[in-house]
Amino acid sequence: YDADDHLLFSSHREPPRPPASANRISGASVTKVLGGETLRIQVAEDLSHRDVIIDDIVSNFFRRVGWITIPILLILLATDILIFRRAVVPLLRASEEARTIGPARTGVRLPTKGIPSEILPLVTAVNQAFDRLEEGFHVQRQFTADAAHQLRTPLAILRTRIETLDASKGTRELHADIESMSRIVSQLLEIAELDTLVLDPGETADLRAVCAEVVGSIAPYALAQQKDIALRGTDGPVRVKGNAEMLQRAIFNLAENAIKYTADATSVDVEVHEDGSVQVRDCGPGIAPAEQGLVFQRFWRGDRQRHRTDGAGLGLSIVRGVVDDHDATIKVENLPSGGAQFTLSFHLAKAEPATA
């Protein structure tokens, strides 16, 4: 504007506005003298649109440098994502390792390679805690194994001495007690072995063949008790994931337990199914519903067992250990006709491709 408030220059192609006195404007005014003539340079904004100057600056900015700003922002975003993933991947790997740690794999530790320095002290402390737990597990397992081994020798000596005595009712009872104690020692050794068992993921076993071996080996024991045991179900092989020796121990303990409690002159059935399951049934008193979740605890003896003098409540805990190691399932139920039924379900092995 000049001294008479006539518009001389405007940054916007807009029609001349009324004099400043007629409108409320906000801005800045600078007076300059050029060629002896006084000029007033005024920067103003219409109060009805106060952001006109900012809009003009932003539009000019994006028009001049905006084309390079967007790629830079995308590069920064990609860099942030890459850094985040590189920081998270080691944590995910550590969490996967943590899921594999258990009684049978106490030597596994969380990896520290690539862990962010802010989290590394926590991972180190967790690994140190695992070290202490492993030591405690080792002491417990070693005690069980050592105790069982130390008991074997005196039991063998005692059995030999009893066998040299004159046959009588008393010596027969002593011999039965020694056999029972020897069985308990063997079960303790089995438990110690199960605690350190590491399965081969690719190992498979024929469940039907395992059950046939169990029935054949325990049949003399059943006949001596005036009882019977039968193998039923499919006649073909049933390949499951697992260790054949461990499966044999689990099914043997179930069959032995069933023979103890089935009624005289009855049969225990071991039935194999093509879906990888095996059922062991007896004709005994059954198991109280309140006790069905307790029978797998070590040294637990419920009402069904209290009238028995043999056994220490270890057989079914061995079964539970084998089931857990094989990621299998076990179910116990009472049959409508009487007796208990244990169902073991293992994972079927993948069929091997046929060779030409």
Tell me the per-residue pLDDT of 91-140, one tens digit each, with 9 for 90 and over: 888 888 888 777 667 778 888 887 888 888 888 898 888 888 888 777 76
| Tally of domains within the chain | 3
266 and 323 co-located in one domain: yes
Is 249 a domain residue? yes
Q: What is the mean pLDDT of residues 24-49?
A: 70
92 and 207 co-located in one domain: no
CATH number at residue 149: 1.10.287
What is the tens place of the pLDDT at every residue in 293-322? 788 777 666 655 444 545 566 778 888 888
pLDDT for position 25: 46
3-state secondary structure string across the chain: CECCCCCCCCCCCCCCCCCHHHCCEEEEEEEEEECCEEEEEEEEEECCCCCHHHHHHHHHHHHHCHHHHHHHHHHHHHHHHHHHHHHHHHHHHHHHHHHHCCCCCCCCCCCCCCCCCCCHHHHHHHHHHHHHHHHHHHHHHHHHHHHHHHHHHHHHHHHHHHHCCCCCHHHHHHHHHHHHHHHHHHHHHHHHHHHCCCCCCCCEEEHHHHHHHHHHHHHHHHHHCCCEEEEEECCCCCEEECCHHHHHHHHHHHHHHHHHHCCCCCEEEEEECCCCEEEEECCCCCCCHHHCCCCCCCCCCCHHHHCCCCCCCCHHHHHHHHHHHCCCEEEEEECCCCCEEEEEECCECCCCCCCC
* Domain, as residue range, for 109: 87-198
pLDDT for position 320: 87
pLDDT for position 259: 92
- State the pTM of this model: 0.56
Is 134 a domain residue? yes
